Every structure is written in structure tokens, then in C-alpha cells.
């Protein structure tokens, strides 16, 4: 095959040879925009890529987030890399590639933080660019560029947490902080990197390192005197103390962070800190003091774009705040509210591809069914969560402190042997079935609520549309819904279009969110 590639390469015009070998810096694929930025190739890049595709030197891949990706077979790419090295252009091509990756990450950052409601689309885009991002990180490290390395890792913090890549993020953060020139990195970049490292090591269970890095971030923030840097550092220290098990220290540091973050106008951090304070109060037994704080946090994160009432600014942030409020609702005995909030978090987690959020929500719904005196069902769901946690490699799930308590409570209610049997049955359960069972708990909570009324539906959905909507909430595809209802896929599409029109939405996530909030599934 190598001879065939070499023969095709020799037949190319010089301009296309240059383009071909420079495209070899891309790992896993590239868009036309990326090719234009990185190859520095004059003329029509699209025409050049199409010509290479016609010669089978480049192939068309998938469309991701509305952009067509191209790539090379690995054997072809190896040949192209050899030509790139021989040309003397390799270092400049890699420099441009790393610069492009950093620019993409910086462009993604505000969307990952929630502004504009495009988190899911940007997470998918970063999934497609993961190979390129990894190559850029390695290049920055190889040349000793601590600033570039730390900046590239840190601006993608939401991405690392939404995906099972925390060990990888930790590796690069520690590698960057260990470079010789890392002390010369601007304070804002170093502070951001330290904060992300605190979060990462907390979730990976390395509490000593988390506390040490949190104190390091706090010293740097105090030197800067900036309210946001100081508030963020105090929040990070609270997180480190929480994961280390010192809940009074965690509550105090979260509380210290709130006024500083308010002064800095950092709303997205304010609701996280408020949720932290409220959660610690709840865990320590002060439910009455916790609920107002959690309600305020939830109200802040639910703010929407004026132009689009369904475009939540921070879906990932909402998924993190929903859990503590739902657990508090369960403790209050409001099983309906708890179930709806957990189900909403589950829907958001699936939309974002954030497995730890999905698992945390399913564990929360297990807590609801435990409170509804179905401990065996709760144990099965908790077993399914434990198995999925291992399979996905996500590490610590969201609201793990509550999930651990639920495991202990279910064991106490059932007894050791019945609990072990139910837990083992849950571990063997396909996770899609566990999700469907968890979502059904919403209906159970409503049906068993004091003074429960007839099934609520202010939108006039037909029974079959309700069936379809229920499966949409559970994350089923059109084909899976068709198979379950013994109808054609076209019929499912018709029902979906009809229920979307009645709900006044245009997509599955919006429909699922309304269904959960209004209690119609």
C-alpha cells in the first residue's frame, strides 16, 4: 500500500503535495476551515482537499456539529508525515496546528461555560477534535511551553468533566505546572490551571493533592487581590475540604466565596458556591437552612436567553445544581419534586453526554423509590449505577456523597443478603433498562403523592403521544420507540412532530425538559 501511496503522491502537482504533507499534522481528522488555517496553503483549499480525496489520499468522514470532517488512513498519514519531516516544514506545521487547537479551545470556552445554550454542540465538536487537542498538548509539552499547555487544558475544564478524561487532564496539568518556565506563566493562567487541577484531583479521590493545590491557588489569588480569583480559590478549597470529608470546613469556605463572587459579577460561580453551602448544610442536618440557598442557586442557573426561552445558558451547571436540590426535596418528603428534578438532570446529562451526571441522577431516583418503600428496586438501580460507573470509567459521580448514603440506607432496610442479591441483579441489568426504570419513578411518585390527581397533561397529548414522549425522556431513538410500540419509524416521526407542536418546542431535549417539569410523563 505504501508503494501505491508513494506513486499517487509523485503524480500530484506541487501545490497538492504541499497540502497533503501538511495535512499530516492532523490527528483523527480536520475540517476545511482547519486545513486552511494550519496548512497556510494559498489558493482554494477545498479544491485541493477534493483532489486528494479523488486520489484516495484523503477520505470524507462524518459531519459533526454541521461541519464535514476529512481524514487519512493511518498508513497514508505515516507516509505524509515522512514527507513533511523531509521537507523541513514539520516544526512550523506543528506550531500552526497547536495554535489552531488553542484558538479552537478558547472559542469553545464561553460556550462550554454556558453562554448561548450551545454546550452540547461544542462538546460534540471537541469530541471530534480530541486527537488534535491531544497532539497539541504533547507538542506544547515537548517544546517546554507551559503557558500554552496550561491554557489549553484549563479552558477545556467543562469538557474534561463532561467526559471520562479526568486522569488525562490531571496528567497534562501536572506536566505543565512542572515545566521549568511554569512560574513565569501569567497569574490568571496559572490560577485557572491550579483551580482545574483542584477539581480534577477531588473527583479522582486524591484529597491531599487537592488540598495542597487549593492552598497554592489561594496564595496566588490573595497576591492578585482580585475578587473573582479569590472567590474561585475559596470555592476550590471548599470543594477540596468536602471531598476530604471535613464538611464544616467545606461549608465555611463555600460561604466565604459567595460574597466575593457576587462582587465580581460571576453569576455562574455564585450558584455553584450557593449550592455548595446549601448542600453542606443539608448533609450536616440543617435542611431548613439548606433549602433557601439551594432554591436561590437553582433560580440563578435557570436564567435563560431572552431570545430563546428554552436555551438555558448553562446546562451543565444546571445539571450540577439540580441534584442537591432534588436530594433536599426527597428529605423534605416531596417525592414528586425530587423525582422531577432528578429526571430533568438525567435528561440534561444524556443531552450533554455527561455520564457522571446521568449516573448521579439515576442514583437520586433510586433514593426516591427507596423513600417510597421499594428498597429492592432501589438496590437494583444502585447496582446498575455501580456497574456503569466501572464500565464508563467516569470516576466519582455527581452527588456521590448522597449516593453513598443511599447505598447504606438500602442495605439497612433490606438486610445484607437481600441487598447483595438485588445489587448484583442491578449490576447485570442493561443500563438502558435501568434508565427506563428510573424515569418511570416520576410517574410512581406522582401516583402515590397525597391527594394525587388524575394524570396531568395541559397540552392535550394523545395516549400514544404520551407513550412516545415517555420514551424520548428515557433517551430512546426513533427506531427503539418504533420497536417498543410495534409501529413504523415513520409513525413515530409523525407522533413526535405532533407532540413537539403541542409542546411548542423543536427538539427532544426541550420536549423532555418540559415533560419532566410539568409532570406529564
Q: What is the mean pLDDT for each group of 10 consecutive residues in the chain (521 residues)?
A: 80 91 95 92 83 92 87 94 95 97 92 66 91 97 95 94 90 93 86 96 92 97 95 97 94 97 91 96 95 92 48 69 96 94 91 89 97 96 96 88 96 96 96 92 87 61 82 81 74 85 84 77 64
Q: What is the CATH number that goes with domain 314-452?
A: 1.25.40
Topology of domain 463-518, per CATH? Arc Repressor Mutant, subunit A (1.10.10)
| Number of other residues whose CB lies within 10 A of the CB of residue 176 | 29
Separation CA 315–CA 305 (nearest Å) = 12
CATH number of 2-88: 1.10.10.10
Nearest to 312, CA basis, from 299, 323, 324, 325: 299
- Beta strands 59-64 and 67-71: pairing type? antiparallel
The pLDDT, as a whole number, for residue 114 is 60
Among 245, 243, 237, 145, CA closest to 191: 237
Q: What pLDDT was estimated at residue 201?
A: 95
C-alpha grid cell for residue 497?
Answer: 412532530
Q: What was the pLDDT predicted at 420? A: 97
**Do the first three CATH levels of 2-88 and 463-518 match, i.e. the same topology?**
yes
Cell digits of residue 466: 404520551
pLDDT of residue 390: 92
The strand pairing partners of 222, in sequence order, are none
The alpha carbon dihedral of 152, 154, 158, 163 has a sign of: positive
Give me 94's grid cell.
506543528
If you ran DSSP here, which 8-state letter would residue 82 be given?
A: H
Res 352: pLDDT:
80
Give the pLDDT confidence score for residue 456 in this predicted structure.
Answer: 55
**Domain limits, the chain:** 2-88, 314-452, 463-518
DSSP summary character for residue 12: S
- How large is the greatest C-alpha to C-alpha distance in the chain, in angstroms? 80
Amino acid at each position: 500500500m505504501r508503494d501505491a501511496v508513494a506513486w499517487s503522491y509523485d503524480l500530484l502537482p506541487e501545490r497538492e503535495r504541499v497540502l497533503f504533507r501538511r495535512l499530516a499534522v492532523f490527528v483523527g481528522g480536520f475540517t476545511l476551515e482547519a486545513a486552511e488555517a494550519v496548512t497556510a496553503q494559498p489558493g482554494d483549499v477545498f479544491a485541493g482537499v477534493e483532489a486528494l480525496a479523488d486520489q484516495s489520499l484523503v477520505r470524507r468522514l462524518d459531519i459533526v456539529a454541521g461541519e464535514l470532517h476529512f481524514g487519512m488512513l493511518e498508513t497514508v498519514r505515516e507516509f505524509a508525515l515522512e514527507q513533511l519531516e523531509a521537507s523541513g516544514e514539520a516544526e512550523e506545521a506543528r506550531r500552526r496546528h497547536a495554535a489552531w487547537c488553542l484558538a479552537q479551545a478558547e472559542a469553545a470556552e464561553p460556550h462550554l461555560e454556558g453562554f448561548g445554550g450551545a454546550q452540547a454542540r461544542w462538546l460534540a465538536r471537541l469530541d471530534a477534535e480530541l486527537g488534535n487537542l491531544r497532539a497539541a498538548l504533547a507538542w506544547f509539552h515537548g517544546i517546554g511551553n507551559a503557558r500554552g499547555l496550561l491554557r489549553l487544558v484549563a479552558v477545556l475544564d467543562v469538557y474534561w468533566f463532561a467526559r471520562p478524561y479526568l486522569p488525562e487532564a490531571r496528567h497534562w496539568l501536572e506536566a505543565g505546572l512542572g515545566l521549568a518556565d511554569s512560574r513565569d506563566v501569567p497569574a490568571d493562567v496559572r490560577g485557572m490551571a491550579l483551580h482545574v487541577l483542584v477539581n480534577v484531583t477531588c473527583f479522582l479521590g486524591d484529597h491531599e493533592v487537592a488540598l495542597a493545590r487549593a492552598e497554592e491557588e489561594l496564595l496566588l489569588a490573595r497576591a492578585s487581590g482580585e475578587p473573582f480569583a479569590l472567590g474561585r480559590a475559596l470555592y476550590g478549597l471548599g470543594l477540596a475540604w468536602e471531598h476530604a470529608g471535613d464538611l464544616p470546613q467545606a461549608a465555611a469556605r463555600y460561604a466565604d466565596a459567595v460574597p466575593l463572587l457576587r462582587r465580581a459579577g460571576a453569576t455562574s460561580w455564585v450558584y455553584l458556591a450557593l449550592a455548595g453551602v446549601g448542600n453542606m448544610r443539608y448533609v450536616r442536618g440543617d435542611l431548613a437552612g439548606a433549602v433557601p440557598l439551594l432554591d436561590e442557586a437553582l433560580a440563578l442557573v435557570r436564567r435563560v436567553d431572552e431570545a430563546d426561552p428554552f436555551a438555558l445558558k448553562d446546562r451543565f451547571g444546571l445539571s450540577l445544581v439540580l441534584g442537591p436540590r432534588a436530594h433536599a426535596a426527597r428529605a423534605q418528603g416531596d417525592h414528586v419534586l425530587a423525582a422531577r428534578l432528578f429526571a430533568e438532570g438525567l435528561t440534561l446529562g444524556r443531552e450533554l453526554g455527561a455520564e457522571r451526571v446521568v449516573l448521579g441522577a439515576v442514583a437520586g431516583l433510586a433514593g426516591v423509590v427507596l423513600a417510597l418503600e421499594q428498597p429492592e428496586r432501589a438496590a437494583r438501580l444502585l447496582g446498575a449505577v455501580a456497574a456503569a460507573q466501572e464500565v464508563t470509567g467516569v470516576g466519582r459521580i455527581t452527588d456521590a456523597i448522597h449516593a453513598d448514603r443511599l447505598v447504606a440506607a438500602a442495605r439497612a432496610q433490606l438486610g445484607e443478603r437481600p441487598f447483595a442479591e438485588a445489587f448484583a441483579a442491578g449490576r447485570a441489568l442493561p443500563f438502558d433498562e435501568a434508565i427506563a426504570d428510573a424515569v418511570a419513578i416520576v410517574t410512581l411518585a406522582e401516583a402515590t403523592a397525597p391527594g394525587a390527581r388524575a394524570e396531568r397533561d395541559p397540552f392535550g397529548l394523545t395516549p400514544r403521544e404520551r407513550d412516545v414522549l415517555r420514551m424520548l425522556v428515557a433517551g430512546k431513538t426513533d427506531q427503539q420507540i418504533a420497536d417498543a410500540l410495534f409501529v413504523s419509524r415513520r409513525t413515530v416521526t409523525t407522533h413526535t412532530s405532533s407532540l413537539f407542536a403541542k409542546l411548542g418546542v423543536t427538539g427532544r431535549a426541550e420536549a423532555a425538559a418540559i415533560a419532566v417539569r410539568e409532570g406529564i410523563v
